[in-house]
Structure formats: C-alpha cells, structure tokens
Amino acid sequence: MIELQDNRELLEAAVCLCAARDQEFPPDVTDDWFRWPAARTAWQLMAKARASGRALDFADLMVNPDTFPVAADAPEILAMFPRVQDAVRGLRAYVDTDWIADQYQRTLKALQNNPDPRDVMQQLATALDHRLAGQQEGRLITAHEAALALFADIERRVNGQRDKVIGYGWPSWDALTLGMEPGQLILVAARPGIGKTLVGQNLTRLWVRQRIPVLYLSFEMSAERLMARWLAMESGVNSLTIARGKPSDQELSDITHAMGYVAEWPIQVWADSITQDECLSVIRRAARQHGVRVVVIDYAGLIRLTPQYRGENKTQMVGRLAEALKRVAGEAQVPVISLVQLKRAADERDDGIPRLKDLRDSGDWEANADVVWMLAPHTDTDITVVLAKNRDGEANIQLSLRWKKTTNLLWDGSPSATVPVVQDD
C-alpha cells in the first residue's frame, strides 16, 4: 500500500506513468525534476522512445530492472491521477521549493558581494517573473482544432452520448439549461432563511439517488443534521422529529427503512470550518480519490478568507474566491454549485424579485458564474426561482418549486410555459 501525502517519489512515478498512459509529455517537465534515479531513468527512456517515433508502455518499464520500481504500483498510482497535469502540478510544488531554496542561497551570496541590494533584488524579481511565465498552463488552439472538437461533441450528443452532462433533476431547470457540465460554476443565491440550503440539499438528494457521487461542504450543519433532513425527505417523517423529537413506532419503522438505502448514498460530507486553500484542496482530492462528479458548497460566505497583501478588502478577497472556484471546477472537471448570499437591498424591492446586482460582496460572482439561480421570498407551499444568468441560453426566467415544509422536500412546480421577468440595470 502506498502513501500519497508528502511523497515525492510517488509523484515522480505518477508523472512518468500518467505520461505513458496518456501519451502526453508536458514540455516544462525536464530531467532535473526527478531526484529518484528510477523515475529519472524512466523519463529519459520515454523521451528517447518518443524522439524515435515509438511509445514506451508499462511493459517496457516493468521488464527493465532500473525502472521496475516506478511501475510496481502502477494501477494504484494511475487511479489517483485522472490527468498527467494533476501529477505534474503535485511534483511542481517540490521542484519549486528546490528552486526557491537555490535562489535564496544565490541571493545571499550576491548581497555579500554587491553593495547595492536593489540590484540583487531586481535580478531575483526578474528570475521569478521568468519562472512564473514558464509555468502558464494550456496552449494555443487553432480554429481547425476547435471546430473538430465541437463537431465531435455535437456528434456524441446526436447519438445520445451525454455522459459528462448531469441534469438537475427538475424538468424545467433542465429544459432551460440542458443540465450541468464539468467546469461550470453555478450559483444559488438568496437572502438568509429563503431556502438556498434547502435547494442544495434537495438537488444533492436527486443526484445521489441516481448514484452520482457528490461532495457536500456544509459550514453551518453537522453531518448528522444533514442526514436528518435527507431521511425526512425519503421517509416522509417530520424533519424536526428526526432531528430532535421522539418518533412513534411507525415513524421509527419508516426512518429505519429509509436509513437502509440512504446510508449507501455516494456522498462525501465536509462539515467543518475551512479556508479557501483547504476548500480547493478538498475538492481536488474528492474528485481524484472518490470520483466525485458534483460539488455543493453551503455556503461560500462562510469560507475563511485571508488577505494576500496589505490593504486587500473583503470585496477583492471574495473576487479571488469566485475566480478560484471557477478554476477548480475546470481542474477537477466537476460542476461546482455554490450557495451565496444576496444583499439586504433585495428585501426592499417592491416586486420581491432579486437581481444580479444583489449578489453580495463582489461582482466577480456574476462574472465567473455560468448559471445563476436566485430565490425570492416564498409561501409555505411555493418557492419562486429566477434564472438570472444562463451563459449558453435564455435567462431572466421565473420558475417555481413546490415545497412540503414538514419534510423540506422540493419538487418542480413550473408549468411548461415559463414566465419572463424584467431585470433592471
């Protein structure tokens, strides 16, 4: 059994194995990235084979005594890293640490010999700029490549192959958006107490009932309280009775029956406080190690943010968070559904319909989100929903959800003809 955490040798092996599996060799990875002789030899052999026009596979690494240690745990290592870039990103942290240590020593020596420290620090800044510029991920894509990729995607959809698309589970939501795709940032926004957590929990229930693995990050409710709500939806027993009351014999029987299959749902729950960096790490790890396909954040306003520089304000920090969640959705290849709060001004509007400008703390939420659902004040049986932004389709549409208050169960309440709403500037 191998250990992933703080294991440079494992990451070096992963880069070699993933490159062989994907036949993708990141150009920024060079021999000096590898300290482990077996991994360095494997990388060099793979580079030579590629230069000669042939592919080096696992069998070649297995039969070579110099590279056998790299391939010994191949199945387990490959399962940890869906893409070679995931392994490269992990190993780069070690390589960068080595580089920084080397630059530190060079700077100390230079300061001893140079009377003008500004000169030395400028050289260090230039070296850092060059280093960061060389680490920009991605590549230029031609119109021809983009057109071919789009046509292949259209063909898959025509043939009914939409493996990567996940429906919300409510027909009116899916009709307007055609479901969710990996890499999307989706917002569910509301004032406190209006129902954004309710929506997040109900959507999660619909997904896990289809055996779609979900990561649910809850910063307000314990895992047990979340489970009580899901059991109420499944059993029909009052959620307050499950959470704090004394169930009757019949209710206990219904709860026990529901518990039998709810306990097997493919859901990972995080129920603790968290920083931005920790949140991103948990998402990446859940996608890589547990095959999570959807992430729900309940809610983004409770993620602990730390200024990156003196004078950075709350709006700027929230903007960084919005950008980071959009980025990690792409890296982990999952849709991220983030629950966010609206400004108090949304309560003061006569029609009660929220606007995009009501998103709290930062306009970066609107800029980075692909889809924005907003909840308006509701009755005891209905919740009004506004599709305020839909990057690939129609927006400013009003829908409704029906609500059973005792069990917190939601279901689609919209007619086939949806109602347009006016968004002011």
pLDDT of residue 132: 57
Cβ contacts of 187 within 8 Å, gap of 6 or more: 337, 338, 339, 340, 359, 365, 369, 371, 372, 373
* CA pseudo-torsion sign 26, 28, 33, 34: positive
Cβ neighbours, 10 Å, residue 25: 14
pLDDT of residue 270: 94
CA distance 419 to 115: 72
412 close to 173: Cβ distance less than 8 angstroms: yes
Cβ contacts of 261 within 8 Å, gap of 6 or more: 234
SS3 content of the chain, % helix, strand, coil (to 5): 50, 15, 35
What residue ranges in 137-253 does DSSP mark as E strands? 185-190, 214-218
187 close to 338: Cβ distance less than 8 angstroms: yes
pLDDT of residue 217: 96
pLDDT of residue 162: 63
Q: What is the pLDDT of residues 282-307, one digit of tens each?
A: 998 899 888 999 999 998 999 998 88
SS3 state of residue 205: helix
Q: pTM for the whole thing? A: 0.66
Q: Which helix (H) or strand (E) holds 385?
A: strand 382-390
CA distance 258 to 173: 27
**Pick from 196, 172, 160: nearest CA to 413:** 172
Average pLDDT on 236-259 reads 93
Residue that wins the pLDDT comparison between 350 and 38: 38
Tokens found for residue 34:
């590898």
CA distance 402 to 414: 9
Tokens found for residue 303:
């993620």
Using 50, 70 and 90 to split pLDDT, how confident is the model at 2?
very low
CA 20 to chain centre: 26
Catalogue all structural domains in the chain, each as residue range(s) with its CATH number. 1-133 (1.10.860), 162-411 (3.40.50.300)
Cβ contacts of 284 within 8 Å, gap of 6 or more: 86, 328, 331, 332
296 close to 217: Cβ distance less than 8 angstroms: yes
Average pLDDT on 313-322 reads 88
Q: Count how many residues are written for the chain.
A: 425
Using 50, 70 and 90 to split pLDDT, how confident is the model at 355?
confident
Whether residue 202 has pLDDT greater than 60: yes
Residue that wins the pLDDT comparison between 417 and 114: 114
Using 50, 70 and 90 to split pLDDT, how confident is the model at 209?
very high
329 close to 286: Cβ distance less than 8 angstroms: no
pLDDT of residue 152: 79
Residue type, 406: T
Q: Which helix (H) or strand (E) holds 386?
A: strand 382-390
Q: What does the angle CA 317 – CA 322 – CA 324 come to, to the nearest 5 degrees? A: 90
Q: Which helix (H) or strand (E) holds 97?
A: helix 84-113
Share of the chain above pLDDT 90, in %: 38
74 close to 46: Cβ distance less than 8 angstroms: no
Q: What does the angle CA 324 – CA 170 – CA 292 come to, to the nearest 5 degrees? A: 40
Q: What is the pLDDT of residues 359-389, one digit of tens each?
A: 876 678 988 999 999 998 778 888 999 999 9
Whether residue 315 has pLDDT greater than 50: yes
pLDDT of residue 116: 72
CA distance 227 to 234: 11
Query: Any idea which residue has 């890296």 for tokens?
Result: 331
CA distance 387 to 363: 17
Beta bridge pairs of residue 338: 187, 297
Q: Give the phi and the psi of residue 146 in degrees, each rounded to 5.
A: -65, -40
